[in-house]
Structure 1
Amino acid sequence: MNILESLKMASSTLVANKLRSGLTMLGIVIGNASVIAMIGVGQGAQKLAAEQFESLGPNVLFIVPGSEQARRTQFNLPKTLVLADAEAIATQVPTVKEVAPQINQTAVMSYRNRNANDTVIGTTPEFLSVRSFKIDRGRFINDIDIKRNTRVVVLGSELSEKLFGNRDPIGKRIRIRNVTFEVIGLMKAKGSFIGDNQDRKAFIPLTTMANQIVGQTSPYGLEVSWINVTAKDEQSIRAAKFQIENLLRLRHKITDEDDFGVQTQKDILTIVGTITTGLTFLLAAIAGISLIVGGIGVMNIMLVSVTERTQEIGLRKAIGAREGDILVQFLIEAVIVSAVGGILGILIGIGAVTLTGALSPLKPSVSPTAILLSVGVSGGIGLFFGVVPAQRAAKLDPIVALRSI
């Protein structure tokens, strides 16, 4: 019997037992759909992270306080950076374009009977260009505000809506920790960055933040949470990082481990990319377990099929069918079940990826490699788990089989 004839017989047998064939495919369908969906969502997370880091601003470097060990193990980092460090970087590092130090503090803000407990950022005028924020209405903090410790505030779009609703906030006064501030500007919507909503922040002058909100506790100067820096161009990023590190080591008189860290946009994106890739593989591996379970289901149903079709196998052998013919037919049945289940699973997986993209900020994509891998694995599982039932059918004694007729 040739392969074409075996294929026809296998197909007709599966069609004749639709319910059993469908239930056999179910595990393969779920496994393939899970693999496609998990890989697609993982790649969408990677794309979203890359876009969010690009939105931080071009050629950005972040100088963060604390040693590497402290940043890994401590929640509250030591305040090892001061405003004088930022000023020194701005004046003494030739590859740096702009510097924007900032102090972060969570505080209760109120307007009449409305309250918000969100982040207040004390910063300088350069923050706007360094971090690629844009003003929607009004103005941002200026140098006069910094020199005079002016009580002015710029609100993020969602924070403004929370405090003022649909009313124009410009010119209104809000209270931050019982200190009155005049609203002078409203930011354009920026969106979230790794779960941190950039539109629910308030921006006030750095000096006002230090002197009237958090206070100064360092004997070395005005403490800052971190320092944002932009290099002159993309080619200057590595040189800027090297020069900043050397300058701060001299200023802090460091002879051992650095009490700060300089991270480029690319460094952070590499770390996040490694994490998201690892999570994608983990999710795909977990989803792949269902493929194995589906394969075991194929083997179980095929073994039952062999038992049920004992008479058919004996009759075919009695009229001249060889062991190889029986083996090929049962293997083809197992592969068809797995392949068709794989295709249905891929279609469901693509639908799940599309739905995820429509209902979430992720931008998942369907990888052709993942599709080919799923189809190949499905067919391979059918072939692998179909061997035992096929061999049992092929080795069945025709005399014993015919006795049951």
Structure 2
Amino acid sequence: MDLVESVKMASATLVSNKLRSTLTMLGIVIGNASVIAMVGIGQGAQNLAEEQFESLGPNILFIVPGSQEERNTTFDLPKTLVLADAEAIASQVPAVAEVAPQISMNQVLSYRDRNTSNLVVGTTPEFLSVRSFNVDRGRFVNELDLKRNTRVAILGSEIAEKLFDSSDPLGQRIRIKNVSFEVVGIMESKGSFLGTNQDEFVFVPLTTMSNQLVGRTSPYGVEVSWINVSAKDEDSVGAAQFQIENLLRLRHKITGSDDFGVQTQKDILTIVGTVTSGLTAMLAAIAGISLLVGGIGVMNIMLVSVTERTQEIGLRKAIGAKEKDILLQFLIEAAILSATGGLIGTLLGLGGIGFVGLVSPLKAGISPIAIVVAVTVSGGIGLIFGVFPARRAAKLDPIVALRTA
């Protein structure tokens, strides 16, 4: 019997048992769809994180407190960065363009009968250019505010809408930690950054934040949460990092490990890429288990099929069919089931990726490699798990098979 005839017979057998064939394919369909969708969503998360960091600009550096070990093991970082460090960097590091220290802390905000807890950021005028923020209406923190410890606040677009609805917030007074602040500006919408909604930030002068909201928390001066720095250009980032590290080591009299860290956009992108790639691989591996389950389903149903078709197998062997003909037909049936299930699962996976892209900010990517691998693996699994029932069918003795039937 030639290959074409075997394919026709296998196809006719599967079509005549639609329910059984459909249930057999179901595990392969779910497995393929899961693998492709999970890989696509994982790549979407990685793309989103990379876009958000790239939006900061290639020249930005972040100086964070604490040693590498402390940053990896605790959320309560030591108070090792102060305002004087930021001022020294601005005046003594030639590769730096601007410096914007900040103090960040969640505080209770209230306006009339409305209360909410949001991140309050105490910072300086340079924050706008260093972090690429823009003011929509009103103004931002200025040098006079810093000198006078002025109680002024600039609201993110969403927190302004949450507190004031459709009324104009400019000139109104809100309370932050029971301290009255005048709203002097509204920020342009910025969106989320690594899961944090930047449109719900409230900005105040750094000195006001330190003296009236946080209080002195470091014996060495005004403690800052971290320092935002922009290098003069992209080529100066490495030089800026080197110069900042040397300056802070001298200022902090460090002889052992650093009590601070200087991270560039490229460093953070590398870390984020490693994490998201690991998560994507883990999701794909978990989803791939369903492919294995699907293969077991193929073997199970094929074994049942061999039992049900004992008479057919015995009759075919009695009229001259060889073992390889029987083996080939059952293998082709398993391959058709796996390939069809793989195709349907691929279409469902691609549809799932498109749906996620519509309803979420994730720009889920379609991975040709994941599609090829999933379809190949599902087809291979079908063939591998189809070998045992196919061999069992091929080894049936025709006389025994006809008697059994």
The alignment's TM-score, normalised by the length of structure 2, stands at 0.98
- After the TM superposition, which of the residue ranges 84-93 and 208-217 deviates more from structure 2? 208-217
Question: In the TM superposition, what is the alpha-carbon distance from 1:404 to its structure 2 partner?
Answer: 3.4
Tell me, yes or no, if structure 1 residue 278 matches structure 2 residue 269: no
Query: Cα distance, 1:223 vs. partner?
Result: 1.0
Q: How far has the Cα of 1:82 moved from its partner?
A: 0.7
In the TM superposition, 1:5-404 aligns within 5 A as 5-404=5-404
Note the C-alpha offset of 1:211. 1.2
* Alpha-carbon separation, structure 2, partners of 1:52 and 1:232: 21
Q: Does the aligned pair in 2 maintain the 1:116–1:162 contact within 8 Å?
A: no
Percent of residue pairs identical: 74
2:401 & 2:73 partners in 1: Cα distance? 70
Deviation at 1:319, TM superposition (A): 1.2
Q: Which residue identity lines up with residue 225 of structure 1 in the other structure?
A: S
Q: Deviations over 1:167-187 (max 9, x none)?
A: 111111111112211111100
SS at match of 2:199: coil
CA distance in 1, matches of 2:386, 2:106: 62
Report the count of equivalent residues.
Answer: 405
Describe the SS at the equivalent of 1:222: coil
Q: CA deviation at 1:232?
A: 1.0
Q: d(CA) in 2 for partners of 1:46 and 1:232?
A: 28
Match of 1:61, SS state, is strand
d(CA) in 2 for partners of 1:404 and 1:114? 81
Q: Which residue of structure 1 aligns with residue 3 of structure 2? A: 3
Q: CA deviation at 1:145?
A: 1.1
| Distance of 2:381 and 2:10 partners within structure 1 | 17
Moved more, 103-112 or 118-127: 103-112
The ranges of structure 1 where at least 4 consecutive aligned residues each deviate by more than 4 angstroms after the TM superposition are: none
Using the alignment, how far apart are the partners of 1:174 and 1:310 within structure 2? 83
How much does 1:363 deviate? 0.9
Q: Look up the equivalent residue of 1:163 and give its one-letter code.
A: L
Q: What SS does the aligned partner of 1:199 have?
A: helix
- Cα offset, 1:218, TM superposition: 2.3
Looking at structure 2, the residues matched to 218 and 166 of structure 1 have their Cα atoms a distance apart, in angstroms, of 41
Q: Distance in 2 between matches of 1:57 and 1:155?
A: 23
Aligned-residue offset at 1:57 = 3.5
Q: 2:8 & 2:76 partners in 1: Cα distance? A: 70
Q: Identify which range, 210-219 or 322-331, moves more after superposition.
A: 210-219
Compute the displacement of 1:189 (Å).
Answer: 0.8
How much is the aligned-residue C-alpha RMSD, in angstroms?
1.0
Per-residue deviation at 1:33? Answer: 0.7
1:56 deviates by 2.7
Aligned counterparts of 1:386 and 1:217: Cα–Cα separation in 2: 69
* Structure 1 residue 97, shift from structure 2 partner: 0.7
Q: Secondary structure at the match of 2:116?
A: strand
Cα deviation digits, residues 251-304 of structure 1 (max 9, x gap): 000000111000111111111111111111111101100100000010011011
Distance in 1 between residues matched to 2:356 and 2:100, nearest whole Å: 37
Give the Cα–Cα distance (whole angstroms) in 1 for the partners of residues 321 and 75 of structure 2. Answer: 73
Q: Which moved more, 1:249-258 or 1:363-372?
A: 363-372
Provide, for residues 65-106 of structure 1, a one-character-per-residue CA deviation record: whole Å limited to 9, x for no partner. Answer: 111111112221111011110011111111111100001121
TM-score, normalising length from structure 1? 0.98
Secondary structure at 1:136 match in 2: strand
Secondary structure of residue in 2 paired with 1:363:
coil
Equivalent residues of 1:335, 1:379 under 8 A apart: yes
Counterpart-to-counterpart distance in 2, 1:222 and 1:306: 80
Conserved in 2, the CA contact under 8 Å of 1:138 and 1:184?
yes
SS at match of 1:101: strand
CA distance in 2, matches of 1:56, 1:167: 32
What are the ranges of 5 or more consecutive residues in structure 2 without an aligned counterpart?
none
